[in-house]
Structure 1
Amino acid sequence: MLTLKRLWILRDAKDQNQWREFLKSGGLHPAEDATYTVGIYDNDELVATGSLSDNIIKYLLVCKRYQSENLLTQIIVHLIERLHEEDIFHYFVYTAPDKEVIFRSLGFKKIMSTKEVLFMEQGEPDFDDYLTYIDQFDHDGENGGIVMNANPFTLGHKYLVEQARKVCDHVYVFVVSEEKSEFSSPERFALVKEGLKEFDDVTVLPARDYMVSSLTFPAYFLKDRAELNIANVQAHLDATLFKERIAPVLHITKRFVGEEPYSKVTNVYNDAMKEVFRPDLSLTILPRLAINGEVVSATKVRQALQDHNEPLVQSFVPGTVLAYLKEKNKI
């Protein structure tokens, strides 16, 4: 007899081990981000599973022997009901491309897919609404795009924008919206906007769920704890979404990033962008800004804040950021 029950993978070692082994048998590699997980059992054997990571449906797998039993639909419907119970009505799925028909039948819309990954959503405001929102800021010409987390905004970030301005008619700076940083999304967005307000040819926009997020590129937030082959798959999805759906709306023909000597995941991302963007979109990787022989980075600023090293913070961030840090007693 088949029964559906919750798996307490964060509390019960047996549940977690069984779930992990089952996913690995299907070629899936779970990270530590599942907030709710269910499984369908045939007696004591786990034969199907699915999880939520906040409002993302993921880690869907059905044992091959049971794929005629409609178990995947049962799992998905249960997870959607769980989301509705929590008053969440805008949600996403990150899964294999062969599951598109099932999700379409349940009302999901495709945002993007690659040969390895399918990215869909249901609810509002959706990706079409986001494209309509950014379209109002469109400028004709040869425009540039930069995506930054800016945790916090530094002179290095500003330097990247200044270099892009030299070769672009207009520059769009997308600030990562994900709440996985020491500085909150509203803080980071406000600091970037304030730090760039002197430039009439620069527009600062939120990335929302569609650039470097837990949806498009979850490995980014794991940094060097991420498996690089998984990061590569996610990076290709993120880069493809930017190239095919976002860049055309704003006539972006150039993307700019800073060189990354330390993070393997960021290097994987840069390599994926190079591969995906050709020939429609150019990628410029700029050397990091150095001040007094030391490379500027947000990581160093955060460490300096912890160490109460005001001189380093002062030398690495714009005056607008320094004023904010002092106002909030962060330094």
Structure 2
Amino acid sequence: MYDDLNFQQINLKDKNEKQEVSKFLEGFGLILDLDVDYTVVLRDFSGSIKATCSKAKNVLKCFAISEDLRGENVTASLISHLVDKLFQDNIFHCFIFTKPDKIKVFTSLSFKLLYEVEDAALLEYGVHDINKALKDMRNKYNIDSNTAKGALVMNCNPFTKGHRYLVEEASRTCEKVLLFLVEEDKSLFPFKDRYDIVKEGVQDLKNVTVVPGGQYIISSATFPSYFIRKEDERMRAYQNIDCGIFAKYFCDKFNIIKRFVGQEPYCSVTNSYNETLKSILPQYGVEIIEIERSKHDEYYISASKVRELIKVGELEKVKSIVPEVTWEFLNSKIGKEIAERIKISNSPH
């Protein structure tokens, strides 16, 4: 039966072809994630879809195989096809988020389990793994694993006086501090600019090291929706995996004993994330320290407030809640272009 099947790449710009894949996935209670950039199907002699899989950059997703093909080694063929495609694109490492009951399927295909929670699991495949990545990070940024440290994970989209206050508090409390900056470019302010701004903005705090977060500090924008349809369940799975990976790997490798977060008075998602940290980190011997955010006038300072003020053209108010380095960037050519995009964007990032 398997010999009668043919691979076909789907044209994701063709509405009819995408709809056909979506309809096939719906039969398994799945959806085609919006961020997929490559989709392939297996068709039988009549042209019907019998299996499909997709990828979004280096994340494999949206797998589905007809019941009559189970046990035909179709999953291995789909994985092999996607890995070949990644290799063609010079990508030699990938991830897959899947249901826990599918872990054995993928570990049998040489995937390594990174972390498992009730509704989802994250596995990786390739020539590198998380231990190698963290070892390289330690060497590149001269991180002394013997010294107990505090840590922060920030997006800084853009860097505000509120961020600066949290870093100062961590710096005052700990001998060494690692500030991990979310590296994924899903934000209005590109990672390179965010990194340069933050690095300059904390350079006077000599015990603080700014480190790109890499692929293992996961953005909620990366987390797939295709097999967890309910938003609250998907968010819970994402938060548990992200917090668990940080605790299990980052804290162990870098001797992190404290993680600092700002209290979240406005965003229920961030507040929920903080609660997840409080639940998971102590299991690994890590203290979670929640600090009240700094205020300006009657409101708490946040990056979303900065973007809101930029959107409505209140730049003088922006100046009062961002460090000088951020203000200088906003007045640069690139900064002004980003500000224009913010004015016409409805993006929450």
Q: TM-score range by the shorter chain?
A: 0.7 to 0.9
Contact 2:239 2:276 in 1 (8 A): yes
* Higher relative contact order, chain-length normalized (CA < 8 Å, sep 6+): 2
The separation in 2 between residues aligned to 1:75 and 1:146, in whole angstroms, is 39
The separation in 1 between residues aligned to 2:93 and 2:221, in whole angstroms, is 13
1:271 to 246, 271, 275: 275
Provide the residue aligned with 1:82 in structure 2.
85
Question: SS in structure 1 opposite 2:215?
Answer: coil
Question: SS in structure 2 opposite 1:274?
Answer: helix
Q: Does 1:165 align with 2:171?
A: yes
Q: Does 1:310 align with 2:315?
A: yes
Residues 24 and 257 (structure 1), Cα distance of their counterparts in 2 relative to 1, 3 Å cut: farther
Q: Which moved more, 1:154-163 or 1:118-127?
A: 118-127
Provide the residue aligned with 1:195 in structure 2.
201
Offset, 1:193: 0.9
Q: Does 1:127 align with 2:130?
A: yes
Provide the residue aligned with 2:34 in structure 1.
32
2:95 to 84, 92, 100: 92
Q: Which amino acid aligns with 1:95?
A: T
- TM (norm. structure 2) is 0.83
Contact 2:168 2:205 in 1 (8 A): no
The runs of at least 4 aligned residues of structure 1 exceeding 6 Å deviation read none
Question: SS in structure 2 opposite 1:73?
Answer: helix
The separation in 1 between residues aligned to 2:334 and 2:63, in whole angstroms, is 45
2:143 to 127, 137, 152: 137
Aligned residues: 325
Q: Which moved more, 1:272-281 or 1:310-319?
A: 272-281
| Structure 1 alignment gaps of length 5 or more | 220-224
Contact 1:210 1:216 in 2 (8 A): no
Contact 1:137 1:250 in 2 (8 A): yes
Question: SS in structure 2 opposite 1:132?
Answer: helix
Question: SS in structure 2 opposite 1:137?
Answer: coil
Deviations 1:205-258 (A, max 9, x none): 110111033686468xxxxx9812111111111111001011111211222222
Q: How does 1:32-71 map to 2 (within 5 A)?
A: 32-42=34-44, 43=46, 45-71=48-74
Deviations 1:123-147 (A, max 9, x none): 4554223211333312545422111
The separation in 1 between residues aligned to 2:334 and 2:37, in whole angstroms, is 34
Q: Does 1:298 align with 2:314?
A: no
Provide the residue aligned with 1:319 in structure 2.
324
The separation in 2 between residues aligned to 1:124 and 1:326, in whole angstroms, is 43
Contact 1:55 1:88 in 2 (8 A): yes
Deviations 1:14-38 (A, max 9, x none): x434433443443445431111111
Q: Which moved more, 1:171-180 or 1:93-102?
A: 93-102
Q: Which amino acid aligns with 1:38?
A: V
Contact 2:98 2:120 in 1 (8 A): yes
Q: Which amino acid aligns with 2:72?
A: E
Q: Which amino acid aligns with 1:19?
A: V
The separation in 1 between residues aligned to 2:51 and 2:102, in whole angstroms, is 14
Q: Which amino acid aligns with 1:32?
A: L
| Structure 2 alignment gaps of length 5 or more | 337-349
Provide the residue aligned with 1:246 in structure 2.
250
The separation in 1 between residues aligned to 2:124 and 2:174, in whole angstroms, is 33
Question: SS in structure 2 opposite 1:330?
Answer: helix
Offset, 1:100: 4.0
Offset, 1:10: 4.6
Deviations 1:4-59 (A, max 9, x none): 3233455324x434433443443445431111111223445433221010121112
Question: SS in structure 1 opposite 2:165?
Answer: helix
Q: Which amino acid aligns with 1:76?
A: I
Offset, 1:278: 2.9
Contact 2:43 2:49 in 1 (8 A): yes
Question: SS in structure 1 opposite 2:113?
Answer: strand
